[in-house]
Structure 1
């Protein structure tokens, strides 16, 4: 009688493989993505800007029709400003910090994407052991010494059945895009601050020229008064008043150097330079005031990097809800291992020493006292907070645009009135000084007229500064020519930080390892 022998070491046959392949495909095809799909919530957007509509002759236009994307300061037609601004991208440290955080965000995306793939490990072991002589008889007898050697490889994979990894990658990509928007915001903030400092520096130069001219005029007044005093026409008090007026104005002219130096130092730091490395030579002109159209309010959501960043943070928060909800579903782990083990190292390569195993694990949490529900609620609350932050950012953006539009409109009217006041005060100064030389009025009248004329001229310069700063602020509020289309897409982010399947550590890590070996001896 013939008996058919069976073996537990029998290899899986074709039938088993035919069953395994559809099962594996089923894991892919049956996979789903839990959690809410992202939809950008509505934000409050006016039909038109209130302050722009109040300006006569205003026409709808795009800011990018006026200033170049990325070089918005060119509207001021100032070559010195252009050269300073271009240093921002090269060495501004706040910008470099933001760029480094963006690279970190890209690496986090690569880390999350690695979850789509299995992990594999290799293990080598050599062991020499002695059994206790007071225990039962072992294979080698009490107190025996045994050697064991093994080499094995193992792999495991957790299929993304419920979309946990997909949602994680989705959220990390959105966070990386928000980080890219932060880079644009940091760049725009540095550019705007430099432009504002530069405008104030040029206004300080203009004020210095005004005060220097006043010093020259008051020196002439003092000379005339001194001559009249020498001729016995006026009293010594007139000379004292003229000298006081002169020296006070001279002191004001000197004082402008304090602010100018501080502004020059601030510009150097924005450029990533030491203050000692930058000197900005005075020029006889102030940058012209450009016309800046506000465009349509609906476009502001796409033009400001801070709004784009807030929107991307909403998307990231939304994805985290899906990650939290995926924890309610079972986790399947597929694992396999193969290797060799023997008591003698020379037998490791023999067929009899081979080992292998494969299998799967299904794990499901059946009780956690509501921890998973709490995590879901946390992430929903974070999404609500992100939505509120987004809408607040939008509101703040519109406020800044309206503020600067109203400032430009009102300051234009104020500038016109102030120029009239300057002309009138100059004429009054001329008339009263002629009357003084004719001996019909006291020198006190001259001092009052000179003070009024100088004060009005200073006010006119300060108004011009306010208009220039408001124009810079408006360009910043409108995004400086930036557009949401400049945000990197998912493909770009993944291409910038591809998966690295090299099992070796980075080259600099290996280098530091070899360098440290001599210190171990």
Structure 2
């Protein structure tokens, strides 16, 4: 019977051991599953950050853009729907002088250089944050102090003087169980991406501003030359009218009207010259120069109009416009902020450890008896913060919702920008075609009148009137030529840039 009881007891102990091992295994599985669930939970603490679905219209404007514009001055611009944007589109104007201006501006602009430095600073800040909250912190410390202890009355009036020598290595690490650090890094990384896209947009805007300023300066120069010729003709007409009045062949009122017209025309010259001076000064600053070092004006006729104009389809415009890409990065940063605000409401686990040597004298501190060490962990679970954590999360959600709406508005504004520039190019071509035809007709009429004047068939006043009509028509032609060249630059700018040509612009260290 004793043997039977002993065998039964042994079997019971064996069964309990098996049950204990099974329970331990189940506990380990449960802990592993819980850790995996916690890791997955960190991924779902906030929105995904994906941009909202946007409409993809069949065409940009209220009416579909034509295949090409009307032919003005022998050039019809063709819209290549579905083509990729042109990175260095200003070279299509076939002007070495214009290319040199843009290259100089991109190289020397203080504003662009400052933006580039701020982006480099943002990259370093991101690297610093990643190293701070994802890797252990290790510090080496040492101290040597001399202290005086207060006397103990019961032990006597004497005091104690002693030295303390210590040196230790300390480490601290916070486990990112719920992804708060990872999400914070993602939020900052998205904002670095946003700055990178803003730099890209600033670079392209600078190039467009230089091209537009150079075109405007050339057009104003041509307008001033033409207006000066008109003023000369008007003054000659006024002098003739004054002589005719003196001879009694013209009424005084008519002579005054002619003189008033000449003076009114002369009054337009200072305004044109001021516009040209301001444009030159602005162009010099865009190039990184002082206003007194403004470059010489280009010849408007030397600029070739690009005949092939790419028109990116609306769905691809979301990837080629840096302003839209910047809004997308801002959206991802706001989504990560929601995750951070959520993770802050969950427990935080930290581990600290230190080891070193210490003692009341150097020999003791350096001996085996002076070895010191410590290790510990802390777990913190927020319980009550006066509603601050919930309010911070609600604020992050509201900010995210606002960023979504801002993204939508950015896309709609981009569509509007492209639609306006496409319509402008068609209307510029129509206006330039009509003004060029008018200038040709006026030139032909003036040439015929001048020939008749040389033959003595008409007075010189008639010949002057014919030239005045031609010069006025030429002014309109110059304005529409300038508008067509400038609006072409605006359309190239509106199309953005192929993502592959950005040389990894927008790639932050958080993304590898």
TM-score normalised over the length of structure 1:
0.78
| Compared CA separation, residues 63 and 206, structure 1 to 2 (3 A) | farther
**Match for residue 129 of structure 1?**
147
Q: What CA distance in whole angstroms lies between the structure 2 residues aligned with 1:358 and 1:472?
A: 66
Q: Is 1:156 equivalent to 2:172 in the alignment?
A: yes
CA shift, 1:284, in A, is: 6.6
1:366 aligns to what SS in structure 2? coil
**Match for residue 341 of structure 1?**
358
| 1:62-98 deviation digits (Å, cap 9, x = unpaired) | 4547x4x2x1101111111100001122111221122
Worse overlay, 155-164 or 407-416: 407-416
**Match for residue 379 of structure 2?**
362
2:311 aligns to what SS in structure 1? coil
**Match for residue 103 of structure 1?**
120
**Match for residue 493 of structure 1?**
508
Note the aligned Cα RMSD (angstroms).
3.8
5 Å-filtered alignment, 1:3-22, equals none
Matched-pair contact (CA < 8 Å) for 1:177–1:488: no
Q: What CA distance in whole angstroms lies between the structure 2 residues aligned with 1:470 and 1:484?
A: 26
**Match for residue 145 of structure 1?**
161
Q: What CA distance in whole angstroms lies between the structure 2 residues aligned with 1:192 and 1:474?
A: 10
Matched-pair contact (CA < 8 Å) for 2:95–2:303: yes
2:366 aligns to what SS in structure 1? coil
**Match for residue 134 of structure 2?**
116
Q: What CA distance in whole angstroms lies between the structure 1 residues aligned with 2:448 and 2:130?
A: 82
Equivalent of residue 380 in structure 1, options 397, 404, 408: 397
| 1:298-355 deviation digits (Å, cap 9, x = unpaired) | 1111111000000010001101111111112111111111122211122211111111
Identify the structure with the greater helix proportion: 2
**Match for residue 317 of structure 2?**
300
5 Å-filtered alignment, 1:162-181, equals 162-181=178-197
Matched-pair contact (CA < 8 Å) for 1:320–1:379: yes
CA shift, 1:364, in A, is: 0.9
Q: What CA distance in whole angstroms lies between the structure 2 residues aligned with 1:231 and 1:129?
A: 114
**Match for residue 280 of structure 2?**
264
1:341 aligns to what SS in structure 2? strand
2:166 aligns to what SS in structure 1? strand
Matched-pair contact (CA < 8 Å) for 1:212–1:253: yes
1:266 aligns to what SS in structure 2? helix
CA shift, 1:212, in A, is: 4.9
**Match for residue 72 of structure 2?**
none
Q: What CA distance in whole angstroms lies between the structure 1 residues aligned with 2:384 and 2:481?
A: 70
5 Å-filtered alignment, 1:45-444, equals 45-50=56-61, 53-57=64-68, 60-64=80-84, 67=86, 69=87, 71-114=88-131, 115-133=133-151, 135-137=153-155, 142-214=158-230, 256-283=272-299, 285-291=301-307, 292-426=309-443
CA shift, 1:185, in A, is: 0.8
| 1:373-415 deviation digits (Å, cap 9, x = unpaired) | 1111111111111111111111111111111111111121122
Uncovered stretches (5+) of structure 2, i.e. residues with no partner: 1-27, 69-77
Q: What CA distance in whole angstroms lies between the structure 2 residues aligned with 1:360 and 1:462?
A: 76
Worse overlay, 342-351 or 428-437: 428-437
Matched-pair contact (CA < 8 Å) for 1:44–1:391: no
CA shift, 1:191, in A, is: 1.0
Aligned positions, number: 466
Equivalent of residue 42 in structure 1, options 53, 58, 71: 53
Uncovered stretches (5+) of structure 1, i.e. residues with no partner: 1-21, 499-521
TM-score normalised over the length of structure 2:
0.79
CA shift, 1:266, in A, is: 1.0
